[in-house]
Structure 1
Amino acid sequence: MKKLIAAFVVTVMSISLLAGCGNKAPQTTTEEGGTTTGNEASVGTEKEVNLIMYLYGGEGVANKAILEALNEKLKASINATLEIKYIDWGDIATKYPLLWASGEAFDMAYVASNSTVPYATLAKQDALADITDLLDTYAPTLKKELDSGAWDSMKVNGKIYGIPSTYSEYTAYGFISRSDLMEKYNVTTISSIADMEAYMDAAVQDGMTPLNGSVNLAMDLYRMFVATTKGYIDAPGVPTSEMYLVGDKDSPYEVLHPAFTEDYEAFAVKMREWADKGYWAKDVLSASQDDKDNFYNGLSAGYISHQPDWTGNYGTQLEKLPGVDSEFYTFAEAGNKIVKKMGVENATAINKDSKNVERSLMLIEKLMTDEECYNLFQYGILGKQYEVVDGKITKPEGFNAEVDGGGFSGWALRTDKLNIPAVTEDSRRYELNEKWATVAIDNPYVGFSFDSSKVTAELSAIANVDSQLGTQILLGKTSQDPKEAVEEYRKQLQAAGIDAIITEVNTQLKEFKAQ
């Protein structure tokens, strides 16, 4: 997850991800305590309100100053102030679900179709505010600027419970290599797993570890497997932070777990071979540094991540590897499986129990459509956290991270219209986005959000299996023969309830397709 978020935040800002979510029925509680429907509501801002938003991560040293500047704008326009509360990275898996179960008073938070508690689950559990009939009154500009497809992706039983991001992105995963090492190893291009292996074999011979990472490497290898195998595409059901389910791009409405295929068994054998070859360190299960960090410190010949993370770390590359260029092999490109991201994957919602649903919606609109508010929330204070040179975000002269470092990872509130490229971004980000826009396939699950409420116990059990044996298989670190380990993994998945999860996903997909 950290990789994904880091890709969206300029280096002048500390990393923290917008988190949480809320729900509201068609009848809403007004700021004065009465009830009204969206059609009857009038925009009243006479009473000043303080709105609480939850973010992932920690508080940057300059965050209070940034909020103070932002709140001056918000108070002047909608008579509201914004307060940020945080969920530390290591606490997301436990505290994000508790946020919804605790009854704590807050107004807004991040939601997604594949978050720890999926967006649709929260909506169906009556945790989020229904904003369907409020948009025309309280966010008319936002409603107009977002296309119908974005809003459709947020619908649960015909109602809208969240505001989707409108930022165009393709989070296709791939292998990042060093151009200087490719030249040294006489590897002219890397456009296949075989090419990748040739490069990594040469790196080992050169005394370098090709993928010198931590246990997090396991999920990157799993993503590589899915992206390079048959017509597999990521499917809903199991969170994408775990060994998730897959569908076929040509028949996506029957999902499966790839662990039960011969392809996965063969992949497990290959991963044992990679481990034995020294493609990653022997202590990978206990290592603390990821392959990306080691890559930029000159300790890894490559790393696996998604395109926005690679292009977003261009500034780090210039700083830590001066004179070194890098290349990106996109796993899904050969199979024509680059998928357009849908709005519900990055969204913001309002807590059903918020006493200020309408004002929260107005605030979200300000953060996504007002240029001054957008820049403050996304980049910080001009001259302190950033400046714009030749149309690109960069650090101002005299920037001191110990004093000026801060900002919010508000990637769920980013828009194409107001986004400013960063000098720390590789220009190939936009070149690839333009190229992929012509070939990317539509996400077949747009508008579908898996309701996991009937299989919460099974999902928890699956997570435990994946964190142990599932991870060991992917890193070639099982005590058993790889094929025997896969057979045991299958038994553990079935005991944990994977069949019930798959059945529930397919049932919901069938209903979704019939709509």
Structure 2
Amino acid sequence: MKKGQRIFSTIIAVVLCISMIGMLVGCGKTGSPSGDNATTGNATTGTSTTGGDTSKTPDTSKEVKLIYYLWGGEGVANKDILNEINKKLKADINATLEVKYIDWGDIATKYPLLFASGEKFDMSHASPNAVVSYYTLAAEGSLVDITDMLDSAAPKLKAEIPESTWAGSKFNGRIYGVPTLYSEYTPAGFVYRTDLLKKYGLEPVTSIETMTAYMDKVLENEKFPPLNGTANLAQDLYDMFVDLTGKWIEAPGIPSNQLYLVATSPDNYTDIIHPAFTEEFENWVVMMREWADKGYWPKDVLSAQIDDKDNALNGLSGAFITHMTDWTGNYGAFKEKLPDADTDFWTFAEASGKIKRKQGVENSTVISVTSENPERALMAIEKFMTDESYYRLIQYGIEGRQYEIVNGVAQKPANFNPDVDAGGFSAWALRNDKFNIPYASEDPRRYELIEKWNKTAINDPFMGFSFDSTKLSTQLSSVANVDSQLGIQLMLGKTTDDPKTAVQKYRDQLKKAGVDDIINELKAQLANHKPVK
């Protein structure tokens, strides 16, 4: 999916879900700290739930079944891959694995309820950016404290993950999840066709001016608009606006699938504003009306059903906005559908030095407090992340069936039949750079950019911070309503009023919805936060 789960249609559902989580957890668990007692990863309140006896090597004499929840759907060959994994797990740690799936469209509702319901399971994906934050789950007592268990159940894993990476996973000084060992950057950018660029005799896109020059030529010469997308394009354009404006960076408080808050710079991370109340925002909205009037996106964009990326892959859009890994990951699909087309990527945040390195905790594997076998679960995680034979199975499938390696690149075998051989798991949190094999379907520029950005990227100052929204459910729901009714229209130039009048109405509605309460509460909580270095 292009944007993970950043879809405007889920805004209200997400807010309500988060509110409901606090109530359900409070009723369903004992000994868990309330959300009011723990707001950041550096706080000194809260309790820990340590699973099992951590003083000795785990007893593996009894066979156990581990349940692992992953996002996405089940591939037709997933059971076959899992069967191979289970042969190894049975021999090595006397365990087998059952994978359960949460479909992409259900994450906003089913992922929070997975922890709130008290369901017995062992492992799941977690992230500070998920519908329910990793740190919130730790604060609520939903996760097993694995700090001491690492020495007995996963010493190799503990040693392999740098202390600086473990630091980002700590809540109140304790570790509640295993962070990924995969280097990744996901800055947003503009994907455009270089074959069209050459056709028009234009310079590469590196600015608003060169971007509009390209889009103007698409309008003049092609039968499709430059950004032939849906209402989700509004979020893309807002991300673009934030990335291109000064030193602004996304801040917590308002969900990232809305018109979120920003800090005025990474260093001044406690200086929180809503961009709507700035001259820069007003100027941007005026420009968005100009772009809409020009026809940069379709007139029916608010009701359109096919996004700009899918249209671009089908030769029906001159460009699309996404993040770097999505662009490079679709290299093979682009070549298959449009063999004569080439693309390039303008990274919005690069010129102002705002590309953030993803911290390991952003893709974590956690063990549920309802797990009956937390030590065995941790042993399984260690196998997937430190044993290449396990890694190949969970990340690539069965060699010779799902993939083969040719010249150091993983590709589909000649006899690959998608009707019977397609399979794979969205186990991003288990990735490890040292075992990673590039896919033939990936643009090799991904790794060139990673190497480049490793030298210049900044740390997200909000990593290790979890915003406690318990007291703000009404305000957050009201702000979500304002965004769904007016925020989207502002970004797409579709307001009935002229842009400046519409901006003032948006500001007034945000004030009435309680945006100042959200900002003030965020600032108060940030007073106790120290960024992870």
CA distance in 1, matches of 2:100, 2:75: 12
Give the CA deviation at 1:2. Answer: 3.9
Distance 1:328 1:204 in 2: 20
Aligned to 1:237: 253
User: Does residue 46 of structure 1 match 2:64?
Assistant: no
* Number of the residue aligned with 1:478: 495
For residues 154-165 of structure 1, what are the structure 2 equivalents within 5 Å? 154-165=169-180
| 2:113 maps to 1:114 | no
1:298 and 1:321 in contact (8 A); partners too: yes
Spell out, residue by residue over 1:153-176, the C-alpha distance to the aligned partner (whole angstroms, 9 max, x if none): 111111111111121111111111
Paired residue type of 2:139: K
- 1:492 and 2:509 matched: yes
Distance between the aligned counterparts of 1:269 and 1:299, measured in 2? Answer: 27
Q: Does 1:280 align with 2:280?
A: no
Report whether the alignment pairs 1:197 with 2:205: no
Match of 2:116 in 1: 101
CA contact (8 A) 2:182 2:431 kept: yes
Q: 1:59 to 1:451 in 2, by over 3 A?
A: same
Q: C-alpha distance in 2, partners of 1:219/1:300? A: 18
Query: Do structure 1's residue 132 and structure 2's residue 147 form an aligned pair?
Result: yes
Show the counterpart of 2:273.
Answer: 256
Question: What secondary structure sits across from 1:252 in the alignment?
Answer: coil
| Partner Cα distance (2:517, 2:389) in 1 | 49
Identify the match of residue 339 of structure 1 among 342, 356, 373: 356
Corresponding position of 1:324: 341
- Residues 255-404 of structure 1 aligned to structure 2 (within 5 Å): 255-404=272-421
**CA displacement at 1:319 relative to structure 2:** 0.7
1:467 alignment counterpart: 484
Contact 2:47/2:139 (<8 A) preserved: no
Is it true that 1:142 corresponds to 2:182 in the alignment? no
Point out where structure 1 has 5 or more consecutive residues left out of the alignment: 6-19, 31-35
**Superposition TM-score, scaled by structure 2 size:** 0.88
Residues 228, 478 of structure 1: CA spacing in aligned structure 2 closer, same or farther, 3 A cutoff?
same
Partner of 1:15: none
- Letter matched to residue 303 of structure 1: F
Task: Tell me the alpha carbon deviations over residues 281-336 of structure 1, each in whole angstroms, 9 at most, x when there is no partner.
Answer: 11111111111111111101111111111111111121111122111111111111
Choose which of 52, 55, 61 in structure 1 pairs with 2:70: 55
Indicate the residue corresponding to 1:9 in structure 2.
Answer: none
Give a deviation string over 1:355-374, Cα, whole Å, max 9, x none.
11111111111111111111
Output aligned runs, 1:211-226, within 5 Å.
211-226=227-242
Deviations along 1:426-481, whole A, 9 cap, x unmatched? Answer: 11111111111111122222332333334344334433332332112111112222
Distance 1:348 1:498 in 2: 33
C-alpha contact 2:168 2:359 (8 A) present in aligned 1: yes
- 1:417, 1:245 → 2: CA distance? 36
Whole-Å separation in 2 of the counterparts to 1:279 and 1:160 = 48
- Report the counterpart of residue 190 of structure 2 in structure 1: 175
CA contact (8 A) 2:51 2:369 kept: no
Structure 1 SS opposite 2:206:
coil
Amino acid at match of 2:233: L
- CA change 1:413–1:465 in 2 (3 A) is farther
Distance 2:379 2:388 in 1: 15
Distance 1:447 1:26 in 2: 17
- Conserved? CA contact 1:472–1:478, under 8 Å: yes
Amino acid at match of 2:70: L
* Contact preservation (8 Å) 1:4, 1:306: no
Tell whether the 8 Å contact from 1:392 to 1:420 is kept in structure 2 after alignment. yes
TM-score by length of 1: 0.91
Aligned-partner SS, 1:110 = strand
Secondary structure at the counterpart of residue 125 of structure 2: strand
Q: 1:86 to 1:205 in 2, by over 3 A?
A: same
Single out whichever of 490-499 and 136-145 deviates more from structure 2.
490-499
User: C-alpha displacement at 1:514, in angstroms?
Assistant: 9.4
Q: Distance in 2 between matches of 1:456 and 1:163?
A: 30
**Residues 118 and 451 in structure 1, CA contact (< 8 A), matched pair in contact too:** no
| Aligned partners of 2:49 and 2:369 also within 8 Å | no
The amino acid across from 1:410 in the alignment is A
**Residue from 512, 517, 520 that aligns with 1:503:** 520
Q: Which moved more, 1:483-492 or 1:188-197?
A: 483-492
Deviation of residue 497 (structure 1)?
Answer: 3.1
- 2:482 is paired with a residue whose SS is helix
1:95-114 per-residue CA deviation (whole Å, 9 max, x = no partner) reads 11211211111111111111
Contact kept, 8 Å, 1:124 with 1:451, in 2: the verdict is: no
Residues in 2 aligned to 1:390 and 1:396: alpha-carbon distance in whole angstroms: 14
Q: Percent identical across equivalent pairs?
A: 57
Shift of residue 252, structure 1, vs aligned partner: 1.6
Structure-2 residue corresponding to 1:8: none
Matched, 1:435 2:452: yes
Rounded Cα–Cα distance in structure 2 between residues aligned with 1:514 and 1:429: 28
Answering whether residue 84 of structure 2 is matched by residue 69 of structure 1, we say: yes
CA distance in 1, matches of 2:176, 2:141: 10
- Give the residue type in structure 2 aligned to 1:190: V
Corresponding residue SS for 1:441: coil
Letter aligned with residue 113 of structure 2: L
Question: In the alignment, is the contact (CA less than 8 A) between 1:377 and 1:408 conserved in 2?
Answer: yes
Match of 2:98 among 83, 105, 114: 83
Distance 1:468 1:63, change over 3 A: farther
